[in-house]
Amino acid sequence: MTKALYGIALIFLPACEEAPSQETESASKDEQVALTQIEKTEAVHSKGEFLSRAIVQFDIVLEFGGSERLNGTMTLTTNSTAGKIFYQNGEEIYYQKDKVFVSPEMENTERARFAAYTWSYFFLFPYKLSDPGTNWSEEEQAILNGEAYNSQKLTFGEGIGDAPDDWYITHFDSRTNLIKVAAYIVTAGETSVEEAEKDPHAISYHDYNGIDGIPLAHSWKFWEWRKDSGLTRQLGKAELSNFQFLTDEEASLNPPENFIEIE
C-alpha cells in the first residue's frame, strides 16, 4: 500500500466506518509498544529534570584506534539548540542550530561539523527520543553478551537534521529501561544509505552515575556492529567527567566575531 493510498484510506475511514486493516492494526500496535518503551526510558533518564536545566558541561577524552580524537570540554544547552567544544590545544567549535563556527587557528575543519553534532547527539540521545520527526518501530529482542535487551528502531522524517537517512537500533536494559546500546549508520556527506549499511557501528553506554539525581553515562565504547552477531570489534572509547549544570549567565555559547562559519 502506497503512502498516498494509505492517506486516502485514513481520510475516508470515519465516513464509511470501514474496519481498520490488519496492516494498520499491526502498525498501530508497534507504535504503542515503542511509545511505551520510550516513555519509560525518558522517565528513568529524568528527562524533565534534565531539560529544566539550561546548560550542561563536562570534560571528555575520546579515542579511536588508539588515537586521541577529542580531549576537551563540551558545553551544551540541554535542549540541543547550541553548544561548544573547547579542545585542550585551544581550538574551539561552536554550533547554533544548523550553523557551525570554528576558531580562526583551526587548520583541519573538514570534520568540524561532524564533531559538533555527533558527539553532542550521542550525549543528548536519551533526551531526544521523542523529538519532532522521530519515528520508532519495534525490533526483535536483542541478546548481547548473554543478556536480553528490548529493542526499537529509530528513523527520521524527511529533512530532519543534517542526515535524515541515518537510523538507530536502540537496545534498552530490560530491568532499568536505561539506554545500553545504540547501533547506527552515518550518511553524512555523500555517503548513501546502501554504503553506510555495509559498515554499521554502535555506541554502548556505561558507568551511569547520578548527577543531581540525573543518571549520566560516564564512559562510552564504540563498536563494529552486525544485526546477526551484535557487538563485534571495539573501535574506540570515551571517558566523561566533571559534570556540572550551568545557567545561561554562566556560560556563553555565542561564537566570537572573528570565528569562521563553515558549511
Question: Per-residue pLDDT tens for 124-150?
Answer: 999 999 999 999 998 988 888 778 899
Q: How much is the pLDDT for 219?
A: 98
Q: How much is the pLDDT for 17?
A: 35
Q: C-alpha cell of 139?
A: 525490533
CA distance 184 to 154: 9
The mean pLDDT value for 158-177 works out to 80
* Global model pTM greater than 0.85: no
Q: Where are the domains of the chain?
A: 3-33, 43-262
For residue 30, pLDDT beyond 90: no
CATH 2.70.70 matches 43-262? no
Using an 8 Å Cβ cutoff, are 218 and 237 in contact? no
Q: How much is the pLDDT for 110?
A: 87
Pick the residue with more confidence: 22 or 106? 106
Q: Where residue 34 falls among pLDDT bands split at 50, 70, 90?
A: low
The number of beta carbons lying within 10 Å of the beta carbon of residue 173 is 18
The mean pLDDT value for 206-214 works out to 95
Q: How much is the pLDDT for 78?
A: 98
Q: What are phi and psi of 177, to 5 degrees?
A: 70, 5
